[in-house]
C-alpha cells in the first residue's frame, strides 16, 4: 500500500464507522467513501475540495458532468427509502418540483464533502 493511500485508508475507516440511520444518510456515506477511494493523493483540509471535485467548479457541475451516478434510477436507489422509491417509481418521477435527481445527487455529494471534512478534522485532533 502506498504511503498516501494509508492516510486515505484511515479516513475510509473513520467514515465507514459513521452510523447511518436512514436511506439518505447511507447514500451520503456511500458517496463519501467513493470520493475518498477515488482520491489519488492524501486528502488534507487544504486540498480537499479541489481534489474531490476533480476539475469541476462545484457539486452541481460534478453531478451533471457525469462524474458520479448518471441514471435517475441509480441515484434514486442510492438515496431513497423503499417507500419513497416506490412513490417515485424507481426514479422515473423527479424527487420534487424544485429538484432533479442530479440536483439531489449534488446535494448529497456536498453533504459527503462535509462528512469527509469532519472526519479529517477529527483525525487531526486525535493526531495532535
Per-residue pLDDT tens for 74-85? 999 999 999 999
Cα gap 106→119, rounded to integer Å: 20
CA distances from 128 to 37, 45, 121, 123, 124 (A): 25, 15, 11, 9, 6
> For residue 74, is it within any domain?
yes
> For residue 48, is it within any domain?
yes
> For residue 128, is it within any domain?
no
> For residue 79, is it within any domain?
yes
Please give the residue range of the domain that contains residue 88: 3-119
> For residue 35, is it within any domain?
yes
CA distances from 36 to 23, 66, 82, 115 (A): 20, 17, 27, 11
State how many domains the chain has.
1
Q: Indicate the pTM of the whole model.
A: 0.92
> For residue 124, is it within any domain?
no
> For residue 24, is it within any domain?
yes
- The pLDDT tens digits of the residues spanning 6-47 come to 889 989 999 999 999 999 999 999 999 999 999 999 999 999
Amino acid at each position: 500500500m502506498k504511503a498516501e493511500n494509508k492516510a486515505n485508508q484511515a479516513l475510509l475507516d473513520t467514515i465507514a464507522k459513521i452510523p447511518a440511520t436512514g436511506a439518505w444518510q447511507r447514500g451520503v456515506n456511500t458517496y463519501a467513501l467513493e470520493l475518498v477511494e477515488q482520491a489519488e493523493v492524501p486528502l488534507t483540509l487544504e486540498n480537499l475540495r479541489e481534489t474531490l471535485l476533480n476539475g469541476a467548479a462545484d457539486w452541481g457541475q460534478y453531478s451533471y458532468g457525469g462524474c458520479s451516478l448518471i441514471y435517475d434510477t441509480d441515484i434514486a436507489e442510492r438515496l431513497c427509502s423503499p417507500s419513497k422509491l416506490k412513490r417515485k417509481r424507481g426514479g422515473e418521477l423527479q424527487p420534487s418540483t424544485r429538484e432533479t435527481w442530479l440536483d439531489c445527487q449534488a446535494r448529497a455529494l456536498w453533504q459527503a464533502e462535509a462528512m469527509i471534512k469532519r472526519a479529517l478534522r477529527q483525525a487531526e485532533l486525535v493526531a495532535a
